[in-house]
Structure 1
Amino acid sequence: MSIVTLLSGGMDSCLMSVLTKETGRDQKPLFINYGQLNYNYEYKSVMAHASQFGFQKPTVIDVSGYGKIISSGLTDSSKHIVDEAFLPGRNMLFLLIASSFALQNKCSAISIGLLREDTAIFPDQTNDFIYSAEQTIAKALGQKIEIAAPLRDFYKKDVIELAREKGIVASYSCHAGGEVPCGMCISCMEFKI
């Protein structure tokens, strides 16, 4: 069956989508605008990546009001990009939207680009969160939608290396949303490790 891939335009999700394509599984890319500061660059990256690898045009879901009301350094430039980076409920929102989209489009699974659990800095990046979310969403939808995290055994250095091997060039990972990556946000710092 088909799978919904949460495609953010960052290197992790771009690699995840390429690895999914290599399995031969039909995927429906989904891009979520949650009000992120880097929306424009993420969106351009998603579209360029889809074009480079021959994916169908990603479906865009706009819930930008979420980031305006439930804000963080990812959605509000007056907040600290690192110290206030946690956006409460973001990954749960992504998984619920993607699962609902999957159900409507007869997909049996969704895929999110979370890396190794020992690199998790937020509570919604843990194995327990993924398991609990899958169970809760199944109850909410009346049907199980598998939540896959195919990069779960990867560190960022592994992602960078494999993304280069696969020829992934259209990714954008800075949370600040500038044309030139800020070099200070959590995402930029991952590339320095």
Structure 2
Amino acid sequence: MNKAIAVFSGGLDCTVAASVYAKDYEIHAITFNYGQKAFEQELKASQIICEKMGFKHHIINLDWLSKISTSSLNTSEEIPNVDFKDLDDAEKSAESASSVWVPARNTVFTSIAASYAESIGAEIIIVGWDKEEANTFPDNSKEFLKSFNELFKVGSPIDIEIKAPAIDLDKDEIVKLGSDVNAPMELSYSCYKGTDIHCGVCESCMRRKRGFKKAGIKDLTIYEK
């Protein structure tokens, strides 16, 4: 079977993305530890999902990234809470995104995934980048995806392509896709804060909540609020 690398935090988007290719590829999922508050919960979710789906699982520690980051995800800074109305407010979304931005995170993750791909001869790298979050996170955008794939054409001795099945999808459409491919979405973990139960008020939790609601699919996630 052909091999694939999945950049895998155990979150909703990457779980759905990897599930799209689960039947056709031997998937090697990579979970990164960059000092994020949610690492323990992300790792737990990743391990459970990988075991259920038959993915191979690898952990990479990026201590240096945590040391240079000023993000509220991996510093003592408080992660902002948001309301549903804030999700479509460009100014407030930009403010929230700025707080949780980790320097060049997806650039770093994808480059490391490419190293793994070259080392095992994987054909594709699977990521959970999506249209909704690309509005405030440029490293989730279609332009970023296209640019990285162009880079691989000139910078790698093997054919590697990044696959982002959610690149044109909003969160509710990702939930619908996850339902279609039987992704174990109920096992995924999205909360920025790293609480045992999803906090329900950070931007990631709120987008997850809204996605299931708009999709009309039962949300089995337990939230604190």
Partner of 2:10: 9
User: TM-score by structure 1 length?
Assistant: 0.88
| Count of aligned pairs | 191
What runs of 5+ residues in structure 1 fail to find an aligned partner?
none
The C-alpha deviation readout for 1:133-180, integer Å capped at 9, x for no partner, is: 233344444544211101223221122344356261211100111112
Flag the 1:52–1:128 CA change in 2: closer, same or farther, 3 A. same
Aligned to 1:96: 111
* 2:163 alignment partner, one of 128, 141, 148: 148
How much identity, in percent, do the aligned residues show?
28
CA positional deviation for 1:65: 2.5
Task: Read off the aligned partner of 1:18 and give its amino acid letter.
Answer: S
Q: Who wins on radius of gyration, i.e. which is larger?
A: 2
* Residue identity in the other structure for 1:62: N
Aligned twin of 2:215: none
CA contact (8 A) 1:36 1:64 kept: no
CA RMSD of aligned residues (A): 2.1
Question: What one-letter code is carried by the residue in structure 2 that aligns with 1:70?
Answer: S
Which one-letter code corresponds to 1:8 in the other structure? Answer: S
Between stretches 126-135 and 169-178, larger displacement belongs to 126-135
Q: Report the CA distance shift for 1:41/1:101 in structure 2 as closer, same or farther (over 3 A).
A: same
Q: Indicate conservation of the 8 Å contact 2:6/2:18, yes or no.
A: yes
Distance 1:138 1:64 in 2: 30
CA distance in 1: counterparts of 2:148 and 2:78, whole angstroms = 28
Quote how far apart the aligned CAs of 1:183 are. 2.1
* Corresponding residue number in structure 2 for 1:116: 131
In structure 2, what is the Cα distance between the partners aligned to 1:90 and 1:118?
14
Q: Partner of 1:158 in structure 2?
A: 173
Match of 1:52 in 2: 52
Tell me what 1:75 maps to.
74
Q: Which range is displaced more, 77-86 or 1-10?
A: 77-86
Q: State the alpha-carbon separation in 1 of the partners of residues 73 and 116 from structure 2.
A: 24
Q: Which amino acid aligns with 1:66?
A: L
The normalised TM-score by structure 2 is: 0.76
2:75 partner amino acid: D
Give deviations 1:36-69, integer Å, cap 9, x for gaps.
110000000000011122223x111111330221
How far apart, in 1, do the equivalents of 2:205 and 2:44 lie?
18
Q: Is the 8 A contact 2:79 2:202 kept in 1?
A: no
Flag structure 2 segments of 5+ consecutive residues without an equivalent: 81-95, 211-225
AA of the residue aligned to 2:200: G
Q: Please list the CA deviations of residues 12-56 of structure 1 after superposition, one character each: whole Å capped at 9, or x if unmatched.
A: 11111211113x222211111122110000000000011122223
- How far the C-alpha of 1:79 sits from its partner, in A, is 4.4
Output the CA distance in 2 between the equivalents of 1:14 and 1:184. 21
| Deviation of the 1:92 alpha carbon | 0.4
